[in-house]
Amino acid sequence: MDTPEHSDTLEYTDVAIIGGGPSGAAAAAWLARHGLAVRVLERQHFPRFSIGESLLPQCMAHLETCGLLEAAQAGHFQPKNGAAFCWKGQYAAIDFREKLTPGPGTTWQIERADFDQRLLDGARDAGADVEHGVSVIGFTPDPHRPQLTMRDDAGKTRQLEARFVLDASGYGRVLARLTGLDCPSSLATRGALFTHVEGLFGDADHDRNKILIGVHPEQKDIWYWLIPFPDGRASVGVVADIDTLDAAGDNDTARYWALINAEPRFNELLTGVTPVRDVTRLAGYSANIKRLHGPGFAVLGNAGEFLDPVFSSGITIALDSAVRAAPLVTRQLDGEDVDWDGDFEIPLREGIATFRAFIDAWYDGRLPRIIFHEHQTPRIRDMLSAILAGYAWDKNNPFVTASQRRLDSLAEACTQEAAVSP
């Protein structure tokens, strides 16, 4: 590959990556291992807190693809083998090891400060140059020489010219804003209140190897997460529409505990725990983008489209976008014609659409009806397990190729308490 000609006024690299979260680290590691000069520009200083703490098994294959699985394994994170659901005394569990799609069936619950640091260190070890405290404030797209304007913590402004730019800025959504590609999500606006607790040792019936998702006993569009970490620590949150959150108390801490205590299982498990960080609000997180690529750039993960936290799809989509984009960047910089629509945007959006169908079915009540139904066949359960394990791109699964129709018919069958078959 040709090396860009240097000048006195610009800095140069082959690939500039905005953001050092999971998608940025994954893309950087892959590209650096394939001989490209990679510059990661991260606004924050690591380690730093981030939400999104429960992975899906599909992530493990992506981490291996970009050479970061070993770096992540060194974190000895809490194992995760599935998801459990509770509502008004009912309990249902889905084991990701029992699924239709081949591939890993286990993963981790993670504290992102440690996890993201390990991935970014792994990208640096692969040869990527990582800069912290750098914000991207300007962008000029170009099919061959896109340029970024950067500003560091000291206020110094610099120009960086690359042969390609990847935006992995997450909720910062840098290129979506700078290029005018930002657009509203089709999902309703919701918010989350969450904290971390310690002293959660639970009872003998609590499975720490599964994320616990609870449903409010009366308001079914309010749901809860409990993500166990090692040593009796956990992330615990509640999600609802903004008006419902605001009506639950006089401040976010009061609102949080009022809603948590309304769910019997969560109330029981959290009795006597100690919060170890302030209750935090995250609102209006769902986002979309008009397109995921343009002249000299592509957009990864949450920087493009973010759905909803209910099935922990965020990091899976982020890593999938990274391992799809990185080889295309390499091919383009080698002089090949690359079909960014056909090889990146369309297939990536197909998997996102599968997750969206399941999220819609969660909030309108179809999916809880299915999950808590007692008479599903093992094959149906294996198909659902594969989607919830992150394998939303497997076209051998009927719940991928015809998500809405299959969910509609299965929910109707569950309502009628009929025998269910694919």
State yes or no: pLDDT of 186 exceeds 90: no
In the DSSP assignment, the letter for residue 45 is: P
Residues 6 or more apart from 158 whose CB is under 8 A from it?
A: 11, 149, 150, 151, 152
42: its two tokens: 């991260």
Q: What is the pLDDT of residues 169-184, one digit of tens each?
A: 998 999 999 999 999 8
Is 190-283 the same fold as 11-76+105-184+286-351?
no
Domain boundaries, the chain: 11-76+105-184+286-351, 190-283, 366-420
The DSSP code sequence of 46-72 is SS---S--B--THHHHHHHHTT-HHHH
- Does domain 190-283 sit in CATH 1.10.240.10? no
Q: What percent of the chain lies above the pLDDT cut of 70? A: 95
pLDDT at position 3 is 42
Average pLDDT over residues 76-80: 97
Distance between CA atoms of residues 281 and 278, nearest Å? 10
- Please state, rounded to an integer, the average pLDDT across all residues of the chain: 93
State yes or no: pLDDT of 12 exceeds 90: yes
**Residues 407 and 399: beta-carbon distance below 8 Å:** yes
pTM for the complete prediction?
0.94
Residue with tokens 């914000």: 135
Q: Which helix (H) or strand (E) holds 183?
A: strand 182-183
Which superfamily does CATH assign the domain made up of 11-76+105-184+286-351 to? Answer: FAD/NAD(P)-binding domain (3.50.50.60)
Q: What is the pLDDT of residues 319-338, one digit of tens each?
A: 999 999 999 999 999 999 99
- Amino acid identity for residue 411 in this structure: A
Chain centroid to CA 335: 32
Q: Which residues of 247-276 are buried (b: 16+ CB within 10 A; e: fewer)?
A: ebeeebeebbbebbebbebbeebbeebebe
Average pLDDT over residues 340-367: 96
42 or 305, which is more confident: 42
Distance between CA atoms of residues 361 and 369, nearest Å? 9
